[in-house]
Amino acid sequence: MHALEQKILTEGIVLSDQVLKVDAFLNHQIDPKLMQQIGVEFAQRFKAAGISKIVTIEASGIAPAVMAGLELDVPVIFARKYQSLTLKDDLYRSKVFSFTKQTESTIAISKKHIAADDHVLIIDDFLANGHAALALVDLIQQAGATVCGIGIVIEKSFQSGRQLLDEKGFHVESLARVKSLTEGQVTFVREESN
> What residue ranges bind its own copies (CB under 8 A)?
15, 19, 21, 23-25, 27-33, 35-36, 58-59, 62-63, 66-67, 69-70, 73-78, 80, 84-87, 100-102, 109-110, 113
CB of 35 to its own copies, least distance (A): 6
- The binding site for 5-phospho-alpha-D-ribose 1-diphosphate comprises 128-132
Nearer to its own copies, 9 or 15 (CB): 15
* Residues 6+ away with beta carbon under 8 Å from 164: 129, 130, 134
Nearer to its own copies, 103 or 193 (CB): 103
Give the C-alpha separation, 180 to 163, whole Å: 16
Asked if residues 56 and 79 have their Cβ atoms less than 8 Å apart, the reply is yes
CB of 66 to its own copies, least distance (A): 5
What does residue 42 show for φ and ψ, rounded to 5 degrees? -60, -45
CB of 53 to its own copies, least distance (A): 8
**117 burial level (CB within 10 Å; 0-12, 13-18, 19+):** exposed
CB of 31 to its own copies, least distance (A): 6
Nearer to its own copies, 73 or 183 (CB): 73
Nearer to its own copies, 80 or 168 (CB): 80
Residue 12 has what DSSP assignment?
-
Give the C-alpha separation, 113 to 90, whole Å: 11
- The binding site for xanthine comprises 20, 27, 156
Task: Label the pairing between strands 172-180 and 146-156.
Answer: parallel
